[in-house]
Structure formats: structure tokens, C-alpha cells
Amino acid sequence: MKIIKVLIAVVVLAVIGSAATVMIAPAGTAAFLVDLKRGLGDLEKKEITLSSGLKYVYLESDNKDADTLVLLHGFGADKDNFTESAPYLKDFHLIVPDHIGFGESSKPEDADYSPLAQARRLHELFTLLDLKRRIHIGGSSMGGHIAMTYASIYPAEVKSLWLLDPGGVWSAPESEMARIIRETGVNPLTAKTEEEFRDVFDLVMSEPPFVPGFVKDQMARKRIANFDLEQKIFAQLKADSVEARVTGLATPTLLVWGKEDRVLHVGAVDVLEKLMPNVTTIKMDGIGHLPQLEAPAETAQDLKDFIAGLEQ
């Protein structure tokens, strides 16, 4: 009985200590949790500088003898959008960069943020990282837009594409997000307050993973600080259609779309299937705009099965 009381006391003290830590140093606690999540995927943070002076910050796994899988995050997100999936993708050598303009990478005010410019920067990054073998590229939303662009201008360097609700297919039916922008002129993917960021969080996922409120608030502050730049980047994205670029693109492609996506209409699947001759499609029930966060194990396994099928 005495041992049980001691154990209870230890647990109570641990809970009190954790709560105190969160109250006193929420930013540090949030950073610790991010590092913990990265560690589960064997990801280490690194950085490298391009010839232009722009800095890329990226995550990399140590499995360098395996096939390389590059993972590209979406608009307003960062490299940690793939830490939920990383533990299920340890069969690959993972490279997960913050795009220029996002996360911890450089954020020049007047840069070209078009998908073509981002793809060319990535090509220099991959060259500096000495990725001599052909690579698999996965992209979520804007990251999918950039991934398709990369494959279109460097087709010999890409073994396969993994597209998760990708952007750039602007002839698709109007989404809820597009309707909001048309009717109000406000982009619901951007945020000026912590409350608005929580609305963004709800918009992009139907089945979000649990994220403590203080972690969301730390995420919100980064988005708020980047608000003005994100307006410029979004305008450049909307001005760029990927459709002509990928017409006839034969790269083996796994196209995944959440049926509950409110950001980009699932009808874009029909457009891409007509344009790209080598597409395998999975539509996910009950999933929104970010399958890799909402169903990380399932989406990762689908990718592994797809790539295994290419090698048979």
C-alpha cells in the first residue's frame, strides 16, 4: 500500500512539474516535443547554404544506403508536417526541407516563390547533398505542386511521385477555401491571430492528430510572423498552373486525396488522371487535406506498397 502511495505521489509530482514547465517555458516545451517527434523518425536537423546565399534547413535520416525519398510540405506548413509519417518510412533515406520562405529556411521578401523557382532551388540543394541516384519525391498541397514541377523539368532524376492533395490544378471544381476567398477576399489558410490559426488547423484536417494547445499557440506565432510574406507567396502560387507542365508526364505517380478536403477539391483527381498517363489513385474516406498527418501509417504503407510494385 505504501509503495502504491509513493508511486501516486511521483506521478502527481511529475504532472505538476510538467504543467509548471509548460506555464513557465511553453516555447521550450513545444520545441522539446518537436525534437521528440523527429527522434521517433530518426530525423536530424541540418542546414546548407546555396550559391545565392539562401539557407535551407532540412531534416535528414541516416539511412543513406536506401532509396532517397524527398518530402515537400505545403503552403504555410514546414518540414515537421512529415514527422508523423517518418516513423513508418524508415525504409528510405529521408530528406525533408523547409521551402525557402517557410519554417527555418531563408525568407527573402522579394524573391521569386513560383513553383518553377522553388524546383530549381531544390535541384541545387539536391546537387549539394550529392543525391546522385534518382529520387522519389513526395509533396503535400503546395509541395505536390512543386514536386510535379520538379519532375517536369528534371524527369530523368525522379523515380516516382507521391502527391498528397497537390495544388496547381486550377481547372478543378471550386473548393470551400476557393469560395471563401472569392466571396470575402480573405485567405483562410493564413492567420493574424492565434484564434485564426486554430481555424486554419480545423480547415485543413478532418481527423487531426492531438496537438496540445500551447504547441498550437507556438505554431500560430510563427505563422503570424510570416503573414505578409505568405500573402505574396500565395498570389504567386495561384498565378501558376501545373496542368500544361505535367501533360504527358510519364513519371510513376501515386495520387492520394482526402475525400473531405475543404482546401482543394477532390475533383482535381479527374483532371490529373487525364493529363498524366501513369497515375495510381487512392481516395481516402473521412480524410481532409493532409493525409500524411491524419492517417500517417496508412498513407506511408500505401506509398511503400506502390514503390515495391514499381520494382517488381
pLDDT in tens, 267-306: 999 999 999 999 999 999 999 999 999 999 999 999 999 9
Confirm if 91 and 117 have CB atoms less than 8 A apart.
no
User: What is the per-residue pLDDT across 123-175, written as a single tens digit (0 to 9) for each?
Assistant: 999 999 999 789 999 999 999 999 999 999 999 999 999 999 999 999 999 99
Could you tell me how far CA 217 lies from the centroid of its own chain?
Answer: 19
Q: Write out the chain's pLDDT in tens, 312 residues.
A: 444 443 443 333 343 344 444 445 567 787 888 889 999 999 999 999 999 999 999 999 999 899 999 999 999 999 999 999 999 999 999 999 999 999 999 999 999 999 999 999 999 999 999 997 899 999 999 999 999 999 999 999 999 999 999 999 999 999 999 999 999 999 999 999 999 999 998 999 998 888 888 888 889 999 999 999 999 999 999 999 999 999 999 999 999 999 999 999 999 999 999 999 999 999 999 999 999 999 999 999 999 999 999 976
> Considering the entire predicted model, what is its pTM?
0.90
Alpha carbon of residue 222 to chain centroid = 16
Residue 95: enclosing H or E segment and its boundaries? strand 93-97
Domains of the chain: 1-40 (no CATH), 43-310 (3.40.50.1820)
Q: Amino acid identity, residue 259?
A: K
- What residues have CB less than 8 Å from 267, skipping those under 6 apart? 172, 173
Is residue 52 a contact partner of residue 123, using CB atoms and an 8 Å limit?
A: no
Q: What is the DSSP string of 211-246?
A: --HHHHHHHHHHHHHTHHHHHHHHHHHHT---HHHH
DSSP states along 237-271: HHT---HHHHTT--S-EEEEEETT-SSS-TTHHHH
**Residues ≥6 apart with Cβ < 8 Å to 245:** 148, 149, 152
Distance of CA 174 to the CA centre of its chain: 22
In sequence order, what are the residues at sequence separation of 6 or more whose Cβ sits closer than 8 angstroms to the Cβ of residue 146?
72, 99, 115, 118, 119, 122, 139
Active-site residues, by number, are: 73, 141
